[in-house]
Each structure stands twice: as C-alpha cells, then as structure tokens.
Amino acid sequence: MKGVNNATDLIIENNPMYSLMIKSGIVNYTSLARKIKKQVESMTGKEVKLNTLVKYITSITPGEKEDYQINYLKKSNLDVEFKFAEKEGKEFDPDREDVFLVYKTQEGYKFLVRNDPEGNLACIRITLPPEAKKAPGITLFVVEFLSMQQILIEKIYRFDLEIILVCSVEVASKVISSLSDLIFKSYL
C-alpha cells in the first residue's frame, strides 16, 4: 500500500501530460486532482479527499522531461472561424467553394460548410511550425489539455501541420482562451 503523496507522484511522473502542465504553470489543479483521484484511491486502498490531492499537487515540481509539445505550440498560429455547419449527403461536389472539410462515411459524405446562415459551429485552427511535421503526441497533448479544462470538442482533425478543432460557437471562446494561455502564457 502506497501513501497518497507517493501514489500521486507516481501517477504524475508516468504521465508526461500531467507533468508538463504542472511544469508549465498552466494546470488546473482541481481538475487534475479530480482526474487522478480514483487512481490514487486504488493505489492507496483508501478514500482520498479532493482537497488533500489539490494541496499536494500544488507543491509538486516535476523533473526535467522533454517538453517539445509546448515548444512547438509556442511557435504556432491560432485562428478561429465561425458560422460552420456540418452537412451530410450521398454524393459530394468537389467544386463547392463553401466546403472547408469533407470525409467519407459508410452512408456517404459529411462535410463542414463555411458561412452557413444556420451554422452553429466554430472551427479553431492551430498551424504548427514546419519542424513539428513528424512530431508525435501534439494533438493528444492539446486534447488532453482541453479535457482537463472541462472543454468539450466535437471533432478533432490533424492534417500535416494543422490541428483543427470543431466545437459549438458557445464553447469557442473558452477554447481560444485556454489555448491562448497554453501557447502564450506557459512558463516554458
């Protein structure tokens, strides 16, 4: 049976995302504590108070690990477009100029349409620097970060040097704010 502090250290050390977020100063301590609480309880064999975890996590200074995700994100561009709508069809006209993204499904095609009067989706694009072309884990890092901020992203796409996040217009400002903090305000 491990102590709460030892169990928490072990979980954070073995998850580069958690460690990097603490190191960069952009972590939501309460959200992280909620996320690892069941693991800590499983490892210690006893119930752990959320406040105990939060207090301990705030005192952690993670070891030096490779933090290429943040370094690539700091060199990225971030932009957002509104009034997107997702449409479906059995066929797709490749000459349509209003289509931003299209993919094939078993039933036909789904596509994101720009400037749709009924559009209630936002498209947030992170354009990575050229050196990030073959870097693994950046998209997962962004998704995990937004998950810890309790932000729901409807769809995520990675194309070469672009990460495209699709969410409701209502959620977009929270996504942009959180990603701006991650990219422009982290300590790394």
Q: Same domain for 103 and 39? A: no
Judge if 54 and 82 occupy the same domain: no
The percent of residues in the chain predicted with pLDDT above 90, rounded, is 42
Q: Which residue has the tokens 């209003």?
A: 98
Between CA 102 and CA 52 the distance in angstroms is 47
pLDDT at 164 > cutoff 50: yes
CATH code of the domain in which 81 resides: 3.30.2130.10
pLDDT tens-digit map of 27-47: 889 999 999 999 999 988 899
User: Do 9 and 99 share a domain, yes or no?
Assistant: no
**Is residue 33 domain-shared with residue 122, that is, in the same domain?**
no
- DSSP element (H, E) containing 130: none
Name the amino acid, one letter, at 32: L
How much is the pLDDT for 177?
A: 92
Distance CA 20, CA 34 (A): 17
Q: Can you tell me the distance from the alpha carbon of 140 to that of 150, in angstroms, rounded to the nearest whole number?
A: 15
The answer to whether residue 67 scores a pLDDT higher than 80 is: no
Distances, alpha carbon 84 to alpha carbons 89, 107, 132, 162, 173, in Å: 16, 21, 28, 18, 15
pLDDT at 63 over 80: no
Determine the angle formed by the axes of helices 16-24 and 4-13, rounding to 10 degrees.
100
* Span 145-157, pLDDT tens digits: 888 788 988 899 9
Domain check: are 170 and 92 in the same one? yes
pLDDT higher than threshold 60 for residue 175 = yes
Residues 76 and 59 in one domain: no
Q: Cα–Cα distances in Å, from 133 out to 15, 42, 69, 84, 146?
A: 23, 39, 12, 27, 22
Residue type at position 58: T
- The residue from 63, 87, 105 where one domain ends is 63
Instruction: Over range 52-66, report the average pLDDT.
Output: 77
Dist CA 131 CA 101 (whole Å)? 24
Residue 1 has pLDDT above 50, yes or no: no
Strand order in the sheet with 77-89: 99-104, 109-113, 77-89, 121-127, 162-168, 155-159
Q: Does one domain contain both 161 and 124?
A: yes
Note down the domain range covering 87. 70-185
